[in-house]
Amino acid sequence: MSEQLKLREAVPDDAKSLLNFLTKASQQTEFIDHADMQDVTDDDEKIALDAIYHSEYDELIVAIFDNEIIGYARLENVDETKGEFGVVVDQEFWNNGIASYLMEDMLDWSKNSPLTKVFLEVYKNNPAAIHIYQKYGFTTESEKEKTLIMEKLV
């Protein structure tokens, strides 16, 4: 599969495809809440992707298979040294290493950014995600009722 899979930085023209992907992914699992995106237009998403593309603190990498977005990794800064990380892969492509490829690319990107720490929030009942985050050096820093806050120095 890796010969057909392409990873690249998201660009504004990806807006419609990315919104379609997020809608699909949110219907596949209980771990993604797409309610916040319901009113986002393609133009809104283009503006957001343009800002991310030009930011030294933010990044969005998409995984493309057959000219379709099937996954993405997102790093969004919360202050000058810390960014919030997330990764989503289309359920049809789980267990093919795509999340690992996206994480590796994003963590490599973060090493060349001004950020010194990345963190994420993951549901406690999502052992597959917890496992992959631990595999890449994330450790649990705190717990909420349903989630773990994990972080990693970069």
pLDDT given at position 11? 97
What is residue 34's predicted lDDT score, i.e. its pLDDT? 57
What pTM was estimated for this model as a whole? 0.88
Mean pLDDT of 123-136: 93
CA-derived radius of gyration, the chain: 15
Domains defined along the chain, listed by start: 6-153 (3.40.630.30)
Encode pLDDT of 72-103 as tens digits.
999 999 998 999 999 999 999 999 999 999 99
Question: What pLDDT does residue 23 have?
Answer: 85
Residue 64: phi, psi to the nearest 5?
-120, 130
| Section 51-71 average pLDDT | 95
Rounded Cα distance between 66 and 75, Å, is 25
Q: Which tokens is 32 given? A: 């993604």
pLDDT of 3 higher than 90 = no
